[in-house]
């Protein structure tokens, strides 16, 4: 079987590394290239391992990771053409940068791929936008949709008639009621609960373990049980 040649934007082991493992299980993709738009800082790998539970976290070394080349810079379209790669997964953790990459790929007619883990349960009549990444053991209820380029981490349960907007980051174990709207560029941290009919504003952040009982304003940090406004957040898009 001929595998589909792809590139992955992003070099974090905690995001791209996990996707590599999941893609390898499917045995249908050949990962030919990693791309980091921004320069990669020089890391003391020995120190980085010393502050983690074990020494198996992968870091870029000499512009490679997982034994595959990393292209660094904004001229990635030319590199994709030279490498005969016509589709990519975009896993930059910076949501604004992810949106800029998506716009550039769209203009160049390079496909931004989605990954929906086979363990994901869809309630029916879902519409999932391009570039959606859903990690294992998630549930999207009936008529729950995603827009473009959002990342949903393991164990999240998003109930019926809800919408996840563009370039949203959802960390593990989000639970929502129905009719919830998570607007563009919002970030939901680990183990958040959101009751039904709530709007999470654009560029807002919900702190870990929060219980959201009321709408959250854009560009704001909320935290607590119940979640309360903490401070405003500056943003660039």
From the list 23, 159, 164, 163, the residue with the least C-alpha distance to 91 is 23
Percent helix, strand and coil across the chain, each to the nearest 5: 15, 30, 50
Give pLDDT, residue 1: 73
**In the Cβ-directed half-sphere of 55, how many Cα atoms lie within 13 Å?**
5
Which parts of the chain register pLDDT below 70? 235-237
Give pLDDT, residue 236: 55
Give pLDDT, residue 235: 67
Structure tokens at 222: 């909320």
Residue that has been written with the tokens 């490498």 in this structure: 83
Q: Are 215 and 222 in contact (CB under 8 A)?
A: no
The residues, ordered by sequence, that sit 6+ positions from 230 with a Cβ below 8 Å of its Cβ are 207, 220, 221, 222, 223
Cα–Cα dist 235/237, whole Å:
6
Give pLDDT, residue 234: 84
Cα–Cα dist 136/77, whole Å:
30
């Amino acid at each position: 079987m001929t595998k589909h040649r792809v590139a992955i934007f992003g070099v974090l082991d905690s995001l791209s590394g996990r996707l590599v493992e999941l893609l390898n299980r499917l045995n249908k993709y050949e990962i030919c290239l990693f791309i980091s738009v921004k320069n990669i800082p020089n890391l003391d790998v020995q120190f980085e391992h010393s502050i983690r539970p074990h020494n198996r976290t992968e870091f870029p070394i000499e512009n490679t990771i997982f034994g595959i080349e990393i292209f660094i810079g904004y001229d990635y379209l030319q590199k994709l053409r030279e490498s005969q790669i016509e589709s990519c997964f975009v896993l930059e953790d910076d949501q604004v940068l992810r949106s800029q990459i998506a716009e550039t790929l769209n203009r160049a007619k390079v496909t931004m791929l989605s990954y929906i883990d086979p363990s994901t349960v869809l309630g029916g009549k879902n519409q999932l936008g391009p570039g959606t990444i859903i990690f294992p053991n998630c549930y999207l209820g009936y008529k729950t949709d995603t827009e473009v380029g959002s990342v949903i981490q393991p164990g999240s349960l998003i109930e019926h008639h809800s919408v996840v907007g563009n370039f949203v980051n959802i960390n593990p174990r989000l639970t929502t009621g129905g009719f919830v709207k998570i607007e563009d560029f919002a970030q939901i941290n680990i183990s958040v609960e959101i009751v039904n009919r709530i709007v999470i504003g654009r560029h807002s952040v919900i702190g870990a373990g929060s219980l959201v009982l009321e709408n959250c304003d854009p560009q704001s940090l909320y935290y607590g049980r119940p979640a309360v406004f903490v401070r405003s957040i500056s943003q660039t898009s």
